[in-house]
Structure 1
Amino acid sequence: MEIDESATGAPNPFAPAFQMGLIGRGIQLSRTPAMHMAEAQMQGLTCRYDLIDTDVDGDIPLAARLDRAENDGFAGLNITYPYKQEVMALLDEVSASSQRVGAVNTVVFRDGRRFGHNTDHWGFCESFRRGLPDAKRGNVLLIGAGGAGGAVAHALSDLGAGCVLIADARPDAAVALAKAIRAAGGQARTVSDPTLAAAGADGIVNATPVGMAKLPGVPLDTACLAAHQWVADIVYFPLETALLKAARAVGCQVLSGEGMAIFQAVRAFELFTGRPADPDRMRATFRSHGQSSTAV
């Protein structure tokens, strides 16, 4: 159905109503609900978006949470830390990109089946293309090989990284991700010390939760940073993490987690509703929440 660009945002009584949600840990200040609900309203749709925070009611298994959402008529769920890999075993079908990345962050319920997608991959690619279009991509250091790290690693490879250097506190996770990148035709290897590896990198990406307001700190010794490098972070509360602040101070180009958060939501909205979302409107909603909140 073609969207009427002149819509005033008033709900259309004949349009379908959508219910979505986000499952994750510590997500009470997420901006994701606002982005989806505001976009739905602008398109004349009715949308409810719930937060399912396992820090609040953590005793319920993930499988039971999916069952409940599906039985309650949800169109789908966004999935965030730490469930992007665990959820894959609970789905009927998983997209090719999700299989390659090894993680799902968007689940769509349709016709009695569950479909898994990964919009983080496209979200990071789109953010990088717009935010660091001319950045050198020879060796790129990636810190974090979890669900988000997998999406970012494959995105970096698709963006033309000569070699993705992967560091993770769990060596087996880093090895598995590097192997997956090579199997997909890219180049990747593991590194044990991100601070030492940073010296030979054109760019550095933090794909761990370190730097969030609830988990302050930096994922490497920032004394290793040099002005010729670029530094990206997927954390976006705060938008300028300690890592990005240190990188900016020495003259690095920086990329915050804002773009990835917005563009993954743009793609998820279309998967949930069948209608394309407006990135500029979603960005405006994201920014309207200021630094007083976070999103996933």
Structure 2
Amino acid sequence: MKALGLIGYPLKHSFSKSYFTEKFRKESIKGFSYELFPLENIASFPELCKAQNPMGLNVTIPYKEKIIPYLDELDSYARKIGAVNVIKFQNGKTIGYNTDCHGFKVSLQKLLPQAIKSNALILGTGGASKAVKFALDEMKIPSKFVSRHAEKGLTYEEIRKVPEILRENRIIINTTPLGTFPEIENKPDIPYEYLSTNHFLHDLVYNPEETSFMKAGKMQGAKVKNGYEMLVEQAEKAWEIWNS
């Protein structure tokens, strides 16, 4: 059996295992297994590789950036983005890729009207946010990060004090895990009352299907989308990489 899997922590509610298991069943793909490998510490990565001898791995929170020093090579996208969500094991080497950028770009293009001209806010500064930023740059959509720390861009406090920022940035992407099951009531701390029918909210969270972030946006008439399509697109791209 060719071993595939996911590393991150925690992994209880991961999409990947069920997705690939169902893919193998539906497409009658034999000779592959997909397992979850929760790592409490990224330092356990080499030991995991020796024990499991995988063909490929997906990488999720909180290791998309921390995994990089453990890899032999990065492809050009992963190097530019500074985050990895796919690892291929080839000829005794570990090669890091980023398919989040591809997945997000495909998903966002289907949410936005073709002629939209707007700036974007990226909520969060973790590994997924870097892929989102890279995709927005490729789409020529100016964007800023929003976090609790002023040195990384705007802060949530600034947005609450100056709601005009939301009027100038009609595309808002949540890259934080806030609102993920089971803590489904959580959401980023922005003044949702200033959103309108001209806003577009994309949540990278996919479980639950409709997050509190999305619900709050919908109440103001905003168009919303969750992270499921992005996950499918990035997973299929990962499968393509592993088998190329």
Same fold (TM over 0.5): yes
Deviation at 1:40, TM superposition (A): 2.9
CA–CA distance in 2 between the matches of 1:194 and 1:95? 36
Deviation at 1:135, TM superposition (A): 6.5
Letter in 2 for 1:208: T
Q: Which residue of 2 aligns with 1:221?
A: 191
CA distance 1:267–1:66, shift in 2 (3 Å): farther
Deviation at 1:24, TM superposition (A): 1.3
Q: Could you tell me whether the CA contact under 8 Å between 1:37 and 1:48 is conserved in 2?
A: yes
* 1:231 to 2:211 alignment: no
Q: Which residue of 2 aligns with 1:153?
A: 133
CA–CA distance in 2 between the matches of 1:200 and 1:88? 35
* 1:191 to 2:175 alignment: no
SS of residue matched to 1:223: helix
Deviation at 1:113, TM superposition (A): 0.3
Deviation at 1:106, TM superposition (A): 0.7
Identical residues among aligned pairs (%): 28
Q: What do the CA deviations read for 1:202-244 (whole angstroms, capped 9, x no partner)?
A: 2111111111124442212212211211111101111211111
Letter in 2 for 1:165: K
Q: Could you tell me whether the CA contact under 8 Å between 2:86 and 2:99 is conserved in 1?
A: yes
* 1:38 to 2:28 alignment: no
Letter in 2 for 1:118: N
CA–CA distance in 2 between the matches of 1:66 and 1:46? 24
CA–CA distance in 2 between the matches of 1:214 and 1:194? 27
Q: Could you tell me whether the CA contact under 8 Å between 2:193 and 2:220 is conserved in 1?
A: no
CA distance 1:94–1:52, shift in 2 (3 Å): same
Letter in 2 for 1:39: K
Deviation at 1:137, TM superposition (A): 4.1
Q: Which residue of 1 aligns with 2:118?
A: 138
Q: Which residue of 2 aligns with 1:251?
A: 221
Superposition RMSD in Å: 1.8
Q: What do the CA deviations read for 1:64-97 (whole angstroms, capped 9, x no partner)?
A: 3244225532111111000100001110101111
Letter in 2 for 1:255: K
Q: Could you tell me whether the CA contact under 8 Å between 1:37 and 1:47 is conserved in 2?
A: no
TM-score scaled by length of structure 1: 0.74
Letter in 2 for 1:246: A
CA distance 1:194–1:210, shift in 2 (3 Å): farther
Q: Which residue of 2 aligns with 1:208?
A: 176
Q: What do the CA deviations read for 1:242-294 (whole angstroms, capped 9, x no partner)?
A: 111111122111121111111111111112233xxxxxxxxxxxxxxxxxxxx
Mapping of residues 118-129 of structure 1, within 5 Å: 118-129=98-109
SS of residue matched to 2:130: helix
Provide structure 1 residue ranges, at least 5 long, that are not aligned to the other structure.
1-16, 175-189, 275-296
CA–CA distance in 2 between the matches of 1:268 and 1:81? 17
Q: What do the CA deviations read for 1:113-150 (whole angstroms, capped 9, x no partner)?
A: 00000010000001112233437242111111110001
* 1:270 to 2:233 alignment: no
CA–CA distance in 1 between the matches of 2:111 and 2:24? 26
Letter in 1 for 2:154: V
The more displaced of 41-50 and 141-150 is: 41-50
> How many residue pairs align between the two structures?
236
Deviation at 1:200, TM superposition (A): 1.5
Q: Which residue of 2 aligns with 1:186?
A: none
Letter in 2 for 1:217: N
Provide structure 2 residue ranges, at least 5 long, that are not aligned to the other structure.
none
The more displaced of 133-142 and 219-228 is: 133-142
Q: Could you tell me whether the CA contact under 8 Å between 1:122 and 1:155 is conserved in 2?
A: yes
CA–CA distance in 2 between the matches of 1:214 and 1:66? 31
| 1:115 aligned to which of 91, 95, 116 | 95
CA–CA distance in 2 between the matches of 1:126 and 1:49? 25
Deviation at 1:166, TM superposition (A): 1.3
